[in-house]
Chains A and B, each alone.
Chain A
Amino acid sequence: DQQVKQNSPSLSVQEGRISILNCDYTNSMFDYFLWYKKYPAEGPTFLISISSIKDKNEDGRFTVFLNKSAKHLSLHIVPSQPGDSAVYFCAASNYPFGNEKLTFGTGTRLTIIP
């Protein structure tokens, strides 16, 4: 039972354009969501998070949007840079766990084309 789903295994975007990565979840108890980025031979690196009391959180080029009614979140990267090429994982947790005991999606491989 996949509670966090990333339905696009891969995405290619031109350098400078916007990258949009999507994530859906089924467990309505989830109230904290995170995005992690993973390069080959490295562990996942935290990018950005959002609590269920918000619908948007921004950090530099990265913005996460949360639509609770649709159980959907997305990560926007603007502008996309070659160094953004990596696998992106969406993750979720429920109170009171916050940043821990995460349920991950299967990942989306983002390739930025120079």
Chain B
Amino acid sequence: ETGVTQSPTHLIKTRGQQVTLRCSSQSGHNTVSWYQQALGQGPQFIFQYYREEENGRGNFPPRFSGLQFPNYSSELNVNALELDDSALYLCASSPRVAGRQETQYFGPGTRLLVL
């Protein structure tokens, strides 16, 4: 059983550009959440997808958007990058069984640097 994988591991972009980060969920997990971890901070919840639909969102502007695919893999898209978007982006997958959310398993993250 493979764990949660993310690509790329590192990325450098310039202000104003757009970026797409990818996450492959753990096998059998139908829910994926994205978190942003700025330097020296804890992870902050961006949004969650369940069965290809957004299922909750944290305090992030609309230029942060996502997708979940039928195989439960996911993308995080960020438009009009700002310097403060520089952070580690973590993806977490979990199964939802009988309406109950089970433990989240995190990927290693993608480190984004915006210059």
Asked if A104 and B108 sit within 8 Å, CB to CB, the answer is: no
Asked if A101 and B106 sit within 8 Å, CB to CB, the answer is: no
Least Cβ–Cβ distance between A77 and chain B, in angstroms: 19
The verdict on B33 contacting chain A, using a C-beta distance below 8 Å, is yes
Contact of B90 among A4, A43, A103, A106 (CB under 8 A): A43
Given A4-B42, A99-B94, answer yes or no on A43-B103 (Cβ-Cβ < 8 Å): no
Least Cβ–Cβ distance between B101 and chain A, in angstroms: 5
Residue of A nearest to B109 (CB): A43
Assembly CA distance A106 to B109 (angstroms): 17
CB neighbors of A among B78-114 (8 A): 90, 92, 94, 100-109
**How many A-B Cβ pairs are below 8 Å?**
58
The verdict on A29 contacting chain B, using a C-beta distance below 8 Å, is no
Given A43-B90, A43-B92, answer yes or no on A99-B41 (Cβ-Cβ < 8 Å): no
Please give, as numbers and ranges, the residues of chain A lying within 8 Å of B107 by CB-CB distance. Answer: 43
Given A43-B107, A46-B103, answer yes or no on A103-B4 (Cβ-Cβ < 8 Å): no
Q: Mark B22-57, 1 if CB is under 8 A from A, else 0.
A: 000000000101010000111111001000000010
Asked if A106 and B40 sit within 8 Å, CB to CB, the answer is: yes
Asked if A106 and B101 sit within 8 Å, CB to CB, the answer is: no
Given A43-B107, A46-B103, answer yes or no on A101-B42 (Cβ-Cβ < 8 Å): no
Please give, as numbers and ranges, the residues of chain A lying within 8 Å of B102 by CB-CB distance. Answer: 99
Other than the known A43-B108, A100-B104, A103-B45, what 8 A-B pairs have Cβ atoms closer than 8 Å? A44-B43, A91-B42, A99-B103, A100-B48, A102-B43, A102-B104, A104-B35, A104-B43
A-B contact pairs, 29 of them (CB 8 A): A4-B42, A36-B106, A43-B4, A43-B90, A43-B92, A43-B106, A43-B107, A43-B109, A44-B90, A45-B106, A89-B42, A89-B43, A97-B56, A98-B100, A99-B101, A99-B102, A99-B103, A100-B48, A100-B94, A100-B101, A101-B33, A101-B58, A102-B104, A104-B43, A104-B44, A105-B42, A106-B41, A106-B42, A107-B42
